[in-house]
Amino acid sequence: MTELQFSHFWHKRYVQVFSLIMIVWAIMCSWQLVSAYMIFTGSLVLCVIQLALLETLYRRANSNKWQYKPLVLGFTICVLFDFILFAESALFAQVNNQLWSARGFVYAAMVPLLIISVRRIQAWGINVYISRDIVLQSSLVFAAGVYLSLIAIAGFYIRYIGGQWSHLIQATFLVLGFAMLAVLLFSGAVRRQLRVYIEKHFFANKFDYRQKWLELTRHLRQIDISQPDQYQTILKAWLDTIGYSRGCIIRYTQGQNFIPLARYERAELNTAETQLITRYAATFADKYWLVDLQDPADAFVQQLSNRKTIDAQLAIPIQSEGELWGLCLLNAPDVNQLNLNWELRDFLMLVSEQVGSYLLLMQASETLSENAQFAAFSRMSAFVVHDLKNVKAQLDLLLKNSIKHRHNPEFIDDSFTTLAAMQLRLNNMLQQLSSKRSQSSEDSIFSVNTVISQVVSERCATKLPLPSFTATAEVQLSLNKERFASVIYHLIDNAQHATEEQGEVQVTLAVKKNHAIISISDTGYGMSEEFIRLRLFKPFDSTKGNSGMGVGAYDAQQFAAQHQGELLVSSTLAVGTTFTLMLPLH
Among 254-268, 348-362, 444-458, the range of highest mean pLDDT: 444-458
Radius of gyration for the alpha carbons in the chain, expressed in angstroms and rounded: 46
Q: Summarize pLDDT for 173-218 with one digit per residue, the tens.
A: 777 777 777 776 677 666 666 665 665 555 555 556 677 777 877 8
- Say how far apart CA 433 and CA 218 lie, in whole Å: 41
Secondary structure letter of residue 459 according to DSSP? I
Q: What is the pLDDT of residue 96?
A: 85
Mean pLDDT of 381-404: 73
- Say how far apart CA 459 and CA 437 lie, in whole Å: 26
Q: What is the pLDDT of residue 136?
A: 59
Domain topology for 443-584: Heat Shock Protein 90 (3.30.565)
Q: What is the pLDDT of residue 518?
A: 95
Q: Summarize pLDDT for 350-369 with one digit per residue, the tens.
A: 888 888 788 778 777 777 77
Q: What is the pLDDT of residue 507?
A: 95
Secondary structure letter of residue 546 according to DSSP? G
Q: What is the pLDDT of residue 127?
A: 47
Q: What is the pLDDT of residue 368?
A: 76
Q: What is the pLDDT of residue 321?
A: 73
Q: Is the pLDDT of residue 514 over 70?
A: yes
**What does DSSP say about strands 468-471 and 476-479: parallel, antiparallel, or unpaired?**
unpaired
Look up the CATH number of domain 209-365. Answer: 3.30.450.40
* Residue 499 · residue 522 · CB < 8 Å: yes
Q: Is the pLDDT of residue 470 over 90?
A: yes
For residue 374, the Cα-to-chain-centroid distance in whole angstroms is 28
Q: What is the pLDDT of residue 446?
A: 92
Q: Summarize pLDDT for 479-501 with one digit per residue, the tens.
A: 988 889 889 988 998 899 899 98
Mean pLDDT of 119-123: 64
Mean pLDDT of 112-125: 71
- What is the crossing angle of helices 132-161 and 188-202, to 10°? 120
Q: What does pTM read for this prediction?
A: 0.42
Q: What is the pLDDT of residue 180?
A: 78
Q: Summarize pLDDT for 34-69 with one digit per residue, the tens.
A: 777 777 787 888 888 888 888 887 877 776 777 788
Q: Is the pLDDT of residue 10 over 90?
A: no
- Say how far apart CA 543 and CA 552 lie, in whole Å: 11
Indicate the pLDDT class of residue 162, thresholds 50, 70 and 90: low
Indicate the pLDDT class of residue 126, thresholds 50, 70 and 90: very low
Indicate the pLDDT class of residue 70, thresholds 50, 70 and 90: confident
Residue that wins the pLDDT comparison between 398 and 105: 105
Mean pLDDT of 563-584: 93
Omega before residue 333 within 30° of 0, cis: no
Which range (206-210, 475-479, 546-550) has the least confidence?
546-550
- Say how far apart CA 258 and CA 490 lie, in whole Å: 52
Q: What is the pLDDT of residue 417?
A: 79
- Listed in sequence order, the residues at least 6 apart from 464 whose beta carbon sits closer than 8 Å to its beta carbon are 496, 501
Residue that wins the pLDDT comparison between 3 and 97: 97
> Residue 566: which of 582, 552, 545, 554 has the closest Cα?
582
Residue that wins the pLDDT comparison between 252 and 228: 252
To which H or E segment does residue 479 belong? strand 476-479
Q: What is the pLDDT of residue 61?
A: 73
Mean pLDDT of 522-538: 88
**What does DSSP say about strands 468-471 and 505-512: parallel, antiparallel, or unpaired?**
parallel
Q: What is the pLDDT of residue 253?
A: 83
Q: Is the pLDDT of residue 128 over 50?
A: no
* pLDDT, the chain, mean: 79
**Ramachandran region, residue 513 (left: φ > 0; alpha: ψ -120 to 50; beta: rest):** left
Q: Is the pLDDT of residue 274 over 50?
A: yes
Q: Is the pLDDT of residue 1 over 50?
A: no
Mean pLDDT of 424-450: 72
Q: What is the pLDDT of residue 336?
A: 67
